[in-house]
Structures are given as structure tokens and as C-alpha cells.
Structure 1
Amino acid sequence: MTSHAPARTSTTPRAGWMIAVAAAAAFLATFNETFLNVAFTPIMTDFGIDVSMVQWLTTGYLLVAAVFVPVSNVLYHRFPTRALFVSVVALMVVGSVVGAVAPTFGVLLAGRLLQAIGTGLLTPIGMNITLAVSPREKLGMNMGIMAAMTTLGPSLAIVLSGALLTIAPWTTLMWVFGALAVIVLIAGALFLRTVAELGRPVLDVLSFALVAVGLVGVLYGVTAAFGGSPLYAGISGVVGLLALWLFVRRQRRIEHPLIDMRPFSSRPFVLGVLMTMLGLLFVFAMNVVIPLFLQAARGMDPLGASLTLAPGILLTVVLGPVAGRMFDHHGGRWSIPLGFLVMAVFVTLVGLVAGHGSILTFGLLYIPAVLATAFVIGPAQTFALSHLDRETSSHGVTVVSTSFQIAGCVGTSLAAGIYGALSTASIGAGRGVPDSLLTGFQGSVGLVILTSVIGIVLAALAYRSVAACRAEYANVA
């Protein structure tokens, strides 16, 4: 690849502004994943549809975003960074306008999916910009900022949308997001410059088709497992896995792979990605079931349920860069497993007080649980990417960005599915509705406890693998 030279990785005022734009892009992309969730009820009323239809505004969004993430790496190395960034954000603006004026649900969904294409492209582009302009000694802090924005986005969206819906119709949400996207577009046009080595990489259409079928098949299978036909869910999952297997085989044989498989040869990278996904799964799972439970079982309104999440969310944003700076200086050997442990302990306490304790106690106990994700998500993705060389790092970013969407879809689907299935089964067994909803909520809590424990194990394996690699290198030297 030749043409434009990449930006120098030095700390300059311009680099700082570029990281700020990348962070705003990460916030924008993840913010929109949950922004419409609280508006499902008025949307169903306006268009005369049911829950199984309206949920595609989120599920379809996540699926399409996941499919387009791998395409970003080809575009990132083919087009100047500023022009690409502005074009992608402009697509999200167009999607917002289409959704705001939609006369039917189908048109609203089309606008939503246009936004999803932008999200799938924007998240890895922002991460690649940060990776390109960050000095090595500040990579952890800057990636911590990115992680804080990806955590803030879907969480703050629920709070803000709940507040807006108390004074305005749901279409206001589309206009508000469009306005935010215009601000980010202008910032990108002003401050970005080309940071990638540009050439003429080719988009392999068959690879794109295989990864699309694979991701949609697997993620739809997970989504439909609780709310649809188990047979169709199983078939979808098998077809998806087969397509992903064919995709991986093809990437190893073609000259211009859509996703370079070399990052997967690094065990620390793979473990870092898995730890990142587990941290994100926690966030997405709790963001969906806590508002559901507090509204249905504790009688809170949407805004009150959303505000219960707000203190932890805001503190996590402050703590993200701090956790990243700690990673730069000390590594994550103890902080990452400690983060998973705190997540597990405090979400257990949240589950115990959910049915009988005060809402204040519930909210206070949740704060340490969500704060702990700052010591997991950003440091884990920095750990993963720091074990790749410059040539494969952009492909690693593609993998990490794809994992964001997968974790969001799986976390949302599993948590909501467990909540609904256990609540329905408990009601069918003759228990009261509040107790049944508590059972469903505690089942979802059990899910994130399990994933947190798995995260502790993966953290131990990750740092053991790093020690083994260093020992092997020392012996060779």
C-alpha cells in the first residue's frame, strides 16, 4: 500500500483533537444502539405493531452494524480518513431524517438500518484513528477514553430518551440524534486528517456475503432462541456457524482478505477480545433488564428507572481514562480480574435486594458493579491490541469492533430472554407477578455473575500466556 503516509504517533494538539473526534464517534455509534428502546411503546401505538415487530429496531440495528464492521478496514485503507469519516456520519444523518418523517414502520426500520450501517463503519474507524495517533505510552489512557464513551453511549441514551419522552413525541429522538450526528460530522471535517497508509484494497464480495450470513445466522439464532421457534433458531445458528467457517477458510486463501486472520494467532489478543466482550455483555444485559424490572415490578416510570442507572454511568466515564492510565503504568494483571470480581460481588447484592430493599439501596449497590467495568473493557481491549504489530493492528481493531456488536446483541438477547422465560414460567406455576418478575431478574443477574467468573479465569490465562511468551523469547534470545 502506498499513497498517503500515516500520521505520526506523537502527542500534538491536533492529535488530541483527533482523539476527541474519535471518542465522540464512539459515543455517537453506541448511543444510538439503545436510544429508541424506551420509545417502543409509543412506536407500537403509532404504527399498530406488536413487541415481536418493534424489537427489530434494536436487533436489526445490531445485526446490520455487526455485518458492516469488517467492511470498514477496506474503506479505511482506501479512502482519506476525513472524507470517509464525514461520509459515514452523513449516512447516519440521512437515516435519522428518514426515521423522523417515516409514514410507516417499514420506512422507520429502513432509516434505522441506514444508521446501523454508519455505526458498523464508524466504531472501528474511530478506534483506528485513536490507535494511529496515540503514543505507545498513552495508548491505555486513550483507549480507556474510547471504552468510557462506548460504555456511556448506550447507558446515557436510555436516560436521555426517557427524559425527552416525558415532554415530546418519539420522533424527537430521531431529530436529536440527527443533530448530534451533524455536530460530530462538522468536528470531523475540521480536525481529522489521513492517518492510514492508503492503497487500493479490494472488497471481496463473497467474503462479505459469508460473514453477513454467518453473523446474522448466529445472532438471529441467539435472539430467536427465547422469543421464536427453537427449531428455526437452531437452524439459523447452524447455518451461521457454517458460513463463518467457510468465511475463515476463504480469508486464508485469498490475496485481499476482508479480515486478516493473523491476529487470531496471538493468544493474548484472543483472550483480550473475549474479556472485552464479557465486560460489554454485562453492560448491555443490565441496561435492558434493570429498566424492565424496575418499571414492571417496582412501579417506576421510564425516567425514574433510567435515572437509577445514571450515577454509575457518569462515574464510569470519569473512571475510564483513570483505569487506562493505570494500565499504562502497571498493566492489568490485577486490575482486570479485580474488576470482574467486583462486578460479580456487587451485582449479586443487587439481585438480593431487588425485591425487598429500597430503590436507593438498589441504585447504590449497582454503582460499584458498573464502575468495575471501567477496569475491564478499556484495559482488556488495550491488552488485546498491544499484542499486535502495526501491520495487523487495524485488522485487530476490526475484530474488536465486531465483538462490540456481537456482545451487545448477545447480552441484550440472553438477558431479556432469560428474564422473560423465567418470569413466564414462574407465573405459570402460580406465583404472583412481582415475585415472578423478581425470579426473572435474578436469572439475568445469574447470567452476568457467570460471565464475570469466566472473565476472572480468562484474565488469569491471559497473563499466564504473556509470561510464557516472554519466557520462550528469553530462552530463544
Structure 2
Amino acid sequence: MASLLICGFVGMFSETALNIAISNLMDVFQISAATAQWLTTGFLLTLGILMPMTGWLLQRFTTRQLFIASLASSIVGTLIAALAFNFEMLMLARVLQAVGMGLLIPLMFNTILIVYPPEQRGAAMGFVGLVIMFAPATGPSVAGLLIEYFTWHYIFWLSLPFLIVGLLVGLKYLENVTEVTKSRIDILSVILSTIGFGGVVFGFSKAGEGEGGWTSAVVVSSIIIGLIALVLFALRQNVMREPMMNLRVFKYPMYIVGLVLVLACMMIILSSMIILPMFLQNGMGLTAFAAGLMLLPGSALNGILSPRMGRLFDKYGPRGLVISGLIIVVAALWFFSSISVVSSVAFLVTLHVGLMVGISMVWMPAQTNGLNQLPPELYPHGTAIMNTLQQVAGAIGTAVAISILTGGMQTYLHSSTAPTEQAELAKALTFGSQNVFIFAMIVTLIGLCTGFFIRRVIVKHAMMNSPH
């Protein structure tokens, strides 16, 4: 677990650390914002294509084989990124890093479900929460510091030794915990999955870039083709004896509840995390480093609390944690919807801390409870579906947030008497940001309604393949 957690932490760190260097990279490589955005879009797209196949990969290959493949891809990608002297090299590096993370994260979840007894899974999943939340939180702050005093290359030079250490620890201690089956891959399923999930993630990511928005022919056609392919993919899986992605997981009600709550959390976090730094930098005039530091306490606390929330889940079950957490998130977002350029730093940091603490109370308990209900043979498929749909939810949340922000700014500036003045632009950004937080609050309220249906899974029943 230590080797998986170290490598997962470094992978998640480098994923978000590069986001703060985008402006710097546009100057260095002389590229447009739309081209630079591909460093993020390409990463998400690779995850969206690879994640659906991980259910089959987890059954077809041993734990050590997948771990070594994941780390080899991550290390080579990180080394190429550290040496990159043009955009194409860096883009290739990002794809290799995404392949590494796309294999590692499902492997981490699946290993926990197999290695840990049900009464200890919450605490173990909590450590994964620490990785998934704390690593991306430290990314912008550390990257801001590195860019200020060194160059963006050092983001990757810093990551490389940790990945190598993680690989060496894994080679020494990691055991094969899965039972390998010689199931065959269905090529048609792979093609439909790639077009389906890839098309949807690409379409929403392009919509989020703001060029043409939702009416762009590329966006509309990508989403429609993606959805048609997904329908055909689902129909194909239902008639196969050995499906690539077993949709029987949707027969288990607590898995569905957990999935809805995880997707809601993903949309809330990504929509908030893309808007808050923009508001802090362009609305309040803070530097990238200062904005990163402001967001660090809440995200760090979320990561630190995740194992604690996992232990509370093991002891008391998910219901109290999930409902209380969602109420805290609703309250934080309600206050966020009234922020302005004169809001104090302490007020914004406090709200962000509340938001992230609330999320820590929901995410891992809901996820662990949902996966607990699945019989062991469906663990790989349950984690594959959950991780894949998180990528889709992330792309949708980001795209919708950017669209709401842009629409709100245009509405404000349209009625402004001096739409080009800096003060008015800051007010327009504030107005758009407030609308995004209202959207996030609506998503949270949907999550809260879902949360009332959650109940603790009695795992011995799940082991006997009962959906109760």
C-alpha cells in the first residue's frame, strides 16, 4: 500500500502542478491558450479512454505486472516532461503520465478491496483520499514556488525521484493479490468504449475551453457520437458472457447511491477549483502563488481528515457522516455565492476549509460503502466504472462551470456603462463566479437528497452476492 500511495501521490501532484504553469508555458513555447489547454484535455482524454478497460486489465494481468507497467509509463513520461524543449514533447509526456495514473488508481482501489477486511476498508480508503485530495492541493502551491525561483521543468525533476523510490519499494514488497483469468478482450467493446467515453470527455472539455462553447460543431458532434457509442457499448456488454465492463454492478442500490455521491463531489470540487483561483487572481488581484497558498489549508485538511473519516465510517457507518458533510458543503457554497472583491482573505479561507471538510465526510464513506456491496468478482468492474465516470463528471463540471462563468460575465458587462474598465471586469468575474457557486450548491442539494437513501452495507451479505 505504501508503494501505491507514494506513486499515486506524486502522479496526482504533477497532474495539478502543471495547471498553474499554463500561462508560463504559453510564453515559453509561443502557443495559444487553446493549444496549451490540450495539456489538461489530453490527460483527461487518455484517462477517459483507458479507465473503462481497467476492469478487464485487473483480471487479465497480475498486480505486479500492472504496477510495473504503470510506474514505467509514469517515470518515462515524467523524465520526458522534465527534458521537454517543445510542446510536442510535453504533450507526449502528459499522455504517458495519464496512462500511468489510469492504471494505478483502479489498481489501488481494487487492492484495498482484496487486502483489507471490510471493517478496516474505510480507514484504508481514507489514505487513498489523502492522496487524491492532498496531492492535487499541494500541486499549485509548490509549482508556484518552483516557477517563481526556478523553471517549470523542476515540477517534474521534483517528482521523478519519488516515483523511482515508489517503484523500488513496490518491486520489493508488492505481492500479487488478484486471481488472474485468461478472459479475452472484445475489440468491438474497446472501439465503442474509446469512441464513447473519449467523445464525451473531449466534447465537454472543448466546450469548457470557451471557443464557440456549446454550439461549436466539434463539441456537439463529439458529444452526440460519444453518447451513441456509449449506448451501443452498454447493449454489447449486456449480451456478452465476459463483458469488458460488467454492468451488473448497477443491480446493487448502495453502489448506485455511492456512485451518485462521488460524481456530485467530483463536479463540486472541479467546478469550485477552476473558478476560485481565477477569482482570487483576476478578481482580487492576488498572485498565483498567493492564491495557491490560500487554497492549501482547506485541501490539506481534507487530505488529513480523510483517514479519520474512514475510521469513523468503519465504526459508525456512512449515513451520519454523509448527510452532515453535505449540509456543511451546502452552507459553504451558499456563503460562496455572495463573495465579492472586498471579501476578506480569512473569510474565503474559512469557507474553503468548510467546503473541503464537508467533502471529506462524503467522498470516501460513500465510495467505500458502495463498493462494499459488490461481490468480489465485480470489484474490478465497480472500480473501473466509478473511476471512468469520475473523469466524465470532471469534464462536465469543468465545462459547465466555465460556461456559467462566461455567461454571467457577459450578462454583467452587457449592462455596464464602462465594460472595458478593470474594476468592472473584476465585478463581472465576481458575478459569474457567484453563479457557478449557485450551480455547485444545486448539485450538492441533489447529492443531499440522494444521501438520505444511504444505509450501511452488511458485507457478509454482499459476499454472498445478495443486493441487500
TM-score (norm 2): 0.91
Return the match for 2:373 from 387, 391, 408.
387
Aligned to 1:326: 312
Q: Give the Cα separation in 2 of the matches to 1:448 and 1:228.
A: 23
1:215-264 CA-partner distances (Å, limit 9, x unpaired) = 12212222233523314222211111110011111112223321111101
Q: Give the Cα separation in 2 of the matches to 1:34 and 1:415.
A: 18
Contact 1:151–1:283 under 8 Å retained in 2: no
Is 2:107 aligned against 1:120?
A: no
Is 2:38 aligned against 1:46?
A: no
Aligned to 2:344: 358
Aligned to 2:451: 459
Aligned to 1:186: 168
Q: Which moved more, 1:104-113 or 1:22-31?
A: 22-31
Q: Give the Cα separation in 1 of the matches to 2:303 and 2:243.
A: 36
SS of equivalent residue, structure 2 residue 107:
helix
1:17-53 CA-partner distances (Å, limit 9, x unpaired) = xx23333343234333312100001110111111111
Q: Give the Cα separation in 1 of the matches to 2:159 and 2:409.
A: 34
Q: Give the Cα separation in 1 of the matches to 2:141 and 2:453.
A: 37
Contact 1:423–1:440 under 8 Å retained in 2: yes
Q: Give the Cα separation in 1 of the matches to 2:126 and 2:410.
A: 40
Return the match for 1:72 from 29, 49, 54.
54
Q: Which moved more, 1:25-34 or 1:287-296?
A: 25-34
1:68-87 CA-partner distances (Å, limit 9, x unpaired) = 11222322222221232022
Contact 1:422–1:439 under 8 Å retained in 2: yes
Partner amino acid for 2:38? W
Distance change (3 Å), C-alpha of 1:256 and 1:378 = same
Contact 2:255–2:371 under 8 Å retained in 1: yes
Return the match for 1:173 from 155, 158, 165.
155
Partner amino acid for 2:350? L
Q: Which moved more, 1:27-36 or 1:131-140?
A: 27-36
- Offset, 1:412: 2.6
1:242-288 CA-partner distances (Å, limit 9, x unpaired) = 10011111112223321111101112211211101111222222222
Partner amino acid for 2:339? V
Aligned to 1:24: 6
Q: Give the Cα separation in 2 of the matches to 1:327 and 1:199.
A: 33
Partner amino acid for 2:40? T
Return the match for 1:375 from 361, 384, 390.
361
Q: Give the Cα separation in 2 of the matches to 1:344 and 1:174.
A: 37
Aligned to 1:9: none
Is 2:274 aligned against 1:291?
A: no
Q: Give the Cα separation in 1 of the matches to 2:247 and 2:271.
A: 29
- Offset, 1:304: 0.3
SS of equivalent residue, structure 1 residue 216:
helix
Is 2:330 aligned against 1:341?
A: no
Contact 1:347–1:445 under 8 Å retained in 2: yes
Aligned to 1:13: none
Name the % identity: 29
Aligned to 1:220: 202
Aligned residue pairs total 451
Aligned to 1:446: 438
SS of equivalent residue, structure 1 residue 457:
helix
Q: Give the Cα separation in 2 of the matches to 1:387 and 1:200.
A: 26
Distance change (3 Å), C-alpha of 1:183 and 1:443 = farther
1:38-437 alignment runs, 5 A limit: 38-226=20-208, 227-229=210-212, 230-232=215-217, 233-430=219-416, 431=419, 432-437=424-429
Q: Give the Cα separation in 2 of the matches to 1:181 and 1:415.
A: 33
Q: Which moved more, 1:321-330 or 1:241-250?
A: 321-330
Q: Give the Cα separation in 1 of the matches to 2:50 and 2:11.
A: 13
Contact 1:148–1:378 under 8 Å retained in 2: no
Contact 1:71–1:121 under 8 Å retained in 2: no
Distance change (3 Å), C-alpha of 1:174 and 1:413 = farther
Instruction: Kindly report the root-mean-square deviation, in angstroms, between the aligned alpha carbons of the 2 structures.
Output: 2.1
Partner amino acid for 1:348? W
Contact 1:285–1:415 under 8 Å retained in 2: yes
Q: Give the Cα separation in 1 of the matches to 2:89 and 2:3.
A: 30
TM-score (norm 1): 0.90
Partner amino acid for 1:88? S
- Offset, 1:170: 1.1
List runs of 5+ in structure 2 lacking aligned partners: none
- Offset, 1:359: 1.2
Partner amino acid for 1:326? L
List runs of 5+ in structure 1 lacking aligned partners: 1-18
Contact 1:63–1:409 under 8 Å retained in 2: no
Q: Give the Cα separation in 2 of the matches to 1:419 and 1:396.
A: 34
Q: Give the Cα separation in 1 of the matches to 2:150 and 2:393.
A: 32
- Offset, 1:109: 0.9
